[in-house]
Amino acid sequence: MKQFSLRNRLYVLILIVLIPLLFLQLFAIISRYDRALHSEIDASLDFAEAVNVTFKNYLRDLWNTEYSIALALTAGEGFNSPEQIERYMKGIARMYPAVEGFIWLDRQYIVLASTISSIKRGDNLANQRYLKQIFYGEDQVVSDLVTEDTESFLPVGRALRDNNDQLVGIIVAILEPSRMDEIVPISRNDERSAFGFIDRKGMIVYHSLLHDLPIEKKKMWNGSPATPAFHGIVNVSAKYYSPITEDYRMGAYIPMSSLGWVTFVTSNRHDVLGQVILATIRDMVILVIVAILSLCVALRVGNKFLKPIRVLQQTAQAISQGELEARTLIQGSDELAVTGQIFDEMAERIQQLEISRTRFLQTAAHELRNPMAGIKGLLSLVRRRMAQGKPLGDITQMLEVMDREIDRLSNLLNQIIEAFRTQRDRTQLSLILKKVNLIDVVFVTLKPFQLTVHQCNFIRDIDTSSDIWVAGDSVRLEEVIRNLLSNAVKYSPNGGNITIRLTTDDGNAILVVKDQGIGIPQEQVGRIFDCFYRASNLERRDPGGMGLGLYICKEIIEGHDGTIWAESEEGVGSSFYIKLPLYKNREEI
């Protein structure tokens, strides 16, 4: 289960990086949509204001004209009959394209003259609501939409009063809503954009798109976005369904305060936002695809990243369970791969160490058992002969043999103890460093060999004219040199040359012991200094070795801050090198 938790953490990391980016993109898309929406609504509001002003200006102009007409009529100049008045009024009406005609009323609201066919001279219009406003003192009035059968029209009245504020007469212009395009000669870009006016009763007076709206469809529906505007509140709606145009629309409704009307400017939502919505959907789809793709790529990369860790884990587990031959075999050069390779090297060392340890145990047991078997065997032999009453044999020789075997046992034990001691802690080697002449050390060590070993030729290549001083423990250094010499003797053929060369080079003393012996297989040269390691070709020739001699040499030389190494060719010979810093280079002593 544990290996999945790392993966989960990785996924969380990926998401932590990815999610804010997704949100940023999402926010950008939404704001673009919002901006489009708001700019349309702002434009609608501006347009509505402009329409408002234009319409009011038109009314002011119309009222002024009406006042002029009324003044002219009451001045009595040349107007002897209603026909004359009507002709005059028709002439003026032609100048106002939206005006169908004028009506001239006396102070009793009785029609004196009319250019409108549906209103006759003598008609009493006192019950008209807008004229009642004049009765209550207003001079300039606009009616709500007046409907008659299928016809609808819009009366605009102007009262004329004398100096005593007494009503003299009223002139009324009848506007035909379908011709009101002339009043607000502005058009909007979008095909289905519209503007218009709604009167106090909620009837559409003018609709720029639908000139011929049937009367029953002119009534604003309940809960329409116009409602707040009747209470003086500017209202915008981003989305509503209009039963009049039968589509989803958006737009602005603003009050036309002096009249109590509402001006509207609306657009088909799809016309305005269609492109934006399409672009938004497209952006969203791209965003989702990109998100999925990057998630997939991230997971792939993540898995690739996790794989070596998992391999490392499995390998470590296998090794801990005793499968010492397990390896990660990770290739590559990144940190994880290098960790894997170092791990493999470590595993190799552990395995080799284990092999060495096993071999050492076997060798140690074998070497210890041989002398023990000898002693025990001799004892049983003597006891058996005594029991059988036979001659005991040469007892002196038997005791000598037993004595020798016990010495062997004790020597082996000393070697083992020494090996473990140096392995446990190098500092416990307890070297006593003094200024020593390496030439003397070599000569002292070499002497017994030259006296006792006759099958080899010792060749000294040492310049004795000047001393070679090193800081060293002469006893231990002798031990090292003795070890190298006895190895050289042990593995050399009869008559072989053993060369001992001592030189100095770049602040170091260099001692070389070169033989013409059996050599060491190339691939094993680097390992012969390991504890318990024995070159494979020694096993037959000298099965008793424990693989400790060179290990102890290395420990001693490294304790002197020196280095020891070997060069060898199998069947040709080996050279062992020791490099020790000269005394003058070791100021601290």
> By the 8 A CB rule, do 251 and 41 touch?
yes
Residue 21 touching other proteins (CB under 8 A): no
357 binds other proteins (CB under 8 A): no
Give the chain's end-to-end CA distance (angstroms, integer): 58
Q: What is the distance between the alpha carbons of residues 461 and 510, in angstroms, rounded to a whole number?
A: 12
- Shortest distance, position 372 Cβ to other proteins, whole Å: 4
Question: At closest approach, how far in Å is the CB of 565 from other proteins?
Answer: 28
CB 551 within 8 A of CB 529: yes
Options 541, 569, 571, 585; binder of other proteins; rule CB under 8 A: 541
Shortest distance in whole angstroms from residue 466 CB to other proteins:
45
Q: Are 196 and 206 in contact (CB under 8 A)?
A: yes
Smallest separation (angstroms) from other proteins to the CB of 369: 4
Q: With respect to other proteins, which residue has the nearer C-beta, 384 or 435?
A: 384
Q: In the set 234, 296, 297, 361, which binds other proteins (CB under 8 A)? A: 361
Task: Tell me how far apart the alpha carbons of residues 21 and 29 are, in angstroms, rounded to a whole number.
Answer: 12
C-alpha radius of gyration, the chain, whole number: 60
Tally Cβ neighbours within 10 Å of residue 328: 22
Residue numbers 405-444 binding other proteins by CB under 8 A: 405
Distance, CA of 582 to CA of 508 (rounded, Å): 5
Helices 269-320 & 2-75 angle (0-180, nearest 10): 170
Written as one string, the DSSP assignment of 174-242 is EE-GGGGGGTS----SSTT-EEEEE-TTSBEEEESS-TT--GGGSBPPTT-TTHHHHTT--EEEEEEEE
Give residue for tokens 């065997």: 377
Pairing outcome for strands 497-505 and 457-462: parallel
Closest distance to other proteins from the beta carbon of 358 (Å): 8
Given 9, 239, 300, 369, the residue binding other proteins (CB under 8 A) = 369
Q: Which of 518, 493, 505, 483 is nearest to 562 (CA)?
A: 505
Work out which of 10, 401, 406, 566 binds other proteins, going by CB under 8 A: 401
Is 293 a residue that touches other proteins (CB under 8 A)? no
Q: Rank residues 10 and 401 by Cβ distance to other proteins and give the closer one.
A: 401
Do you know the residue count of the chain?
589
Shortest CB 533 distance to other proteins, Å: 18
In the complex, minimum distance from the CB of residue 538 to other proteins, in angstroms, rounded to a whole number: 10
Query: 440 is written with which tokens?
Result: 């003397």
Q: How far is the CB of 380 from other proteins (least distance, A)?
A: 4
Name 264's Cβ contacts closer than 8 Å, sequence gap at least 6. Answer: 48, 194, 195, 196, 197, 198, 226, 229, 251, 252, 253, 254
Between residue 180 and residue 219, which ones bind other proteins under the rule CB under 8 A?
none
**Taking the complex as a whole, how short is the minimal distance between the CB of residue 487 and other proteins, in angstroms?**
16
Site for other proteins (CB under 8 A): which residue of 286, 542, 569, 584?
Answer: 542
With binding defined as CB under 8 A, does residue 366 bind other proteins?
yes
493 binds other proteins (CB under 8 A): no
Residue 391 beta carbon to other proteins: minimum distance, rounded to whole angstroms: 10
* Size of interface with other proteins, in residues (CB under 8 A): 30
> Considering the complex, what minimum distance in angstroms separates the CB of residue 513 from other proteins?
24
- Three-state DSSP class for 577? strand
User: Least Å distance between CB 427 and other proteins?
Assistant: 33
User: Which of 15, 379 has the CB closer to other proteins?
Assistant: 379
Q: Are 102 and 93 in contact (CB under 8 A)?
A: yes
- Nearest to other proteins of 69, 409 (CB atom): 409
- Contacts with other proteins, 370-389, as mask; x by CB under 8 A: xxxxxxxxx-xx--xx--x-
Considering only residues 72 through 101, tell me which ones interact with other proteins, judged by CB under 8 A.
Answer: none
Cβ neighbors of 222 (< 8 A, separation 6 or more) are none
Q: Establish if 486 lies at the interface with other proteins (CB under 8 A).
A: no
Q: Contact with other proteins (CB under 8 A): which of 232, 332, 393, 507? A: 393
Q: In the complex, what is the shortest distance from the CB of residue 376 to other proteins, in angstroms, rounded to a whole number? A: 4
Q: Which is nearer to other proteins, 388 or 427 (CB)?
A: 388
Spatial distance between the Cα atoms of 352 and 528, rounded to a whole number of angstroms: 12
Please answer whether residues 520 and 535 qualify as being in contact, where contact means their C-beta atoms are separated by less than 8 angstroms: yes
Nearer to other proteins, 24 or 373 (CB): 373
Q: How far is residue 398's CA from residue 406's CA, in Å, rounded to a whole number? A: 12
Nearest distance, CB of residue 410 and other proteins, angstroms: 16
- Specify the stretch interacting with other proteins by CB under 8 A; choose among 58-66, 181-189, 432-440, 534-542: 534-542
Task: Give whichever of 274 and 377 is closer to other proteins, judged by the CB atom.
Answer: 377
DSSP state, 390? -
Q: Coil, strand, or helix at residue 112?
A: strand
Q: How far is the CB of 363 from other proteins (least distance, A)?
A: 9
Q: Is 108 in the site for other proteins (CB under 8 A)?
A: no
User: Which CB atom, from 129 or from 369, has the smaller least distance to other proteins?
Assistant: 369
Q: Residue 535, interface with other proteins (CB under 8 A)? A: no
CA–CA dist 377, 248 (Å, integer): 116
d(CA 90, CA 81): 14
Cβ atoms of 470 and 509 within 8 Å: the answer is: yes
Count of beta carbons in the 10 Å neighbourhood of residue 556? 24
Residue type for position 469: W
**Which of residues 277 and 372 has its CB atom nearest to other proteins in the complex?**
372
DSSP letter (8 states) at residue 167: E
Applying CB under 8 A, which of residues 84, 275, 303, 362 lies at the interface with other proteins? 362
Candidates 72, 368, 431, 566: give the one binding other proteins (CB under 8 A): 368
**Please, which residue, 106 or 394, has the CB nearer to other proteins?**
394
Q: Would you tell me which residues interact with other proteins (CB under 8 A)?
A: 358, 361-362, 365-378, 380-381, 384-385, 388, 390, 393, 401, 405, 540-543
